[in-house]
Amino acid sequence: MTLPGRRPDLGYLHPTMRIMREMVDVFVGMGFQVAEGPEVEWDYYNFEKLNIPRDHPARDMWSTFYVANAQRPGEMLLRTHTSPNQVRVMERLRPPVRFVVPGKCYRYEAIDASHEAMFYQLEGFAVDETITMADLKGVLTTFARQIFGQDSKVRFRCDYFPFVEPGVEVSIDCHVCRGSGCRLCKGTGWLEILGAGMIHPKVLEGVGYDPGKVSGFAFGMGLERVAMLKYGIDDIRLFYGNDVRFLHQIT
């Protein structure tokens, strides 16, 4: 009768959910709302409305899983990024809009230490009358410092994505070597964490906004990538390997 009972095993938040909540909290603190959208998406939202028409070579950047649909062949797919929700949200609302969209994405990838066929992204965007690149830099610098530490340095460099103009690639200084170069940052001192830019006028026009009156920025990043850098995880396959030894470590 007095023998203590068996303790049930306590569960923990999965590292992906944990980093998602942490990241969403940072953006909510800056006034962003949270939206979600479908994982099975139309080509129209995933590509066309994001300034990536059918014959555009940029489609090669997203290896896509198509879903068979007898009525609309070749038009249904598993979303390759969370960006279609930029369009879905803007179609419904007039500016000012400020949203983040976390969620699962799918790509037809060869799986290795840094690629998975299923992964999570967090998309963010803001549109209003006076939004400039300075707002984008401010928001992303605040984000990086809250997630990786107040002394983090942030670097912006030119990059190309069809739905932004200009586009940037954003890196933080490597927190392992603090910029002097190590294995994690491949000797560069910098770790790329996301892509961003000012929303392309064609995307704004496509949802009925006037690009002469309003402007906006958008960014997107992989959640696992952020978790890997923050918690020092060196292989993305560990996230979805269903190994409790891995899940138990982050408590």
Q: Which residues bind Zn ion (CB under 5 A)?
A: 174, 176-177, 182, 184-185
Let me know if 175 is a catalytic residue. Answer: no
CA 239 to CA 243: how far, in whole Å?
A: 8
Let me know if 24 is a catalytic residue. Answer: no
Q: Which of the following is catalytic: 88, 107, 200, 225?
A: 107
**Nearest distance from residue 231's CB to Zn ion, in Å?**
16
- In the bound state with Zn ion, the residue whose beta carbon lies nearer, of 174 and 207, is 174
**Nearest distance from residue 184's CB to Zn ion, in Å?**
5
**Nearest distance from residue 119's CB to Zn ion, in Å?**
23
CA 170 to CA 213: how far, in whole Å?
A: 27
Q: How many residues does the chain have?
A: 251
Let me know if 190 is a catalytic residue. Answer: no
Q: What does residue 246 show for φ and ψ, rounded to 5 degrees?
A: -70, -45
Which residues, 6 or more positions from 244, have their beta carbon under 8 angstroms from its beta carbon? none
Q: Which of the following is catalytic: 87, 100, 126, 164?
A: 164
- In the bound state with Zn ion, the residue whose beta carbon lies nearer, of 184 and 250, is 184
Q: Which residue of the chain is nearest Zn ion when measured via CB?
A: 174
Note whether 202 and 107 are within 8 A (CB).
Answer: no
- In the bound state with Zn ion, the residue whose beta carbon lies nearer, of 185 and 226, is 185
Which residues, 6 or more positions from 243, have their beta carbon under 8 angstroms from its beta carbon? none
Residue whose structure tokens are 């942490």: 22
**Nearest distance from residue 92's CB to Zn ion, in Å?**
43
Residue whose structure tokens are 């939004």: 131
- In the bound state with Zn ion, the residue whose beta carbon lies nearer, of 30 and 182, is 182
Q: Which of the following is catalytic: 87, 88, 100, 121?
A: 121
Let me know if 107 is a catalytic residue. Answer: yes
Q: Which of the following is catalytic: 87, 97, 214, 218?
A: 218
- In the bound state with Zn ion, the residue whose beta carbon lies nearer, of 52 and 172, is 172
Q: Read out DSSP for 184-241? A: TTTTSSEEEEEEEEEEPHHHHHHTT--TTT-EEEEEEEEHHHHHHHHHT---GGGTTS
**Nearest distance from residue 144's CB to Zn ion, in Å?**
15
Give the residue numbers marked as catalytic: 62, 81, 107, 121, 164, 218
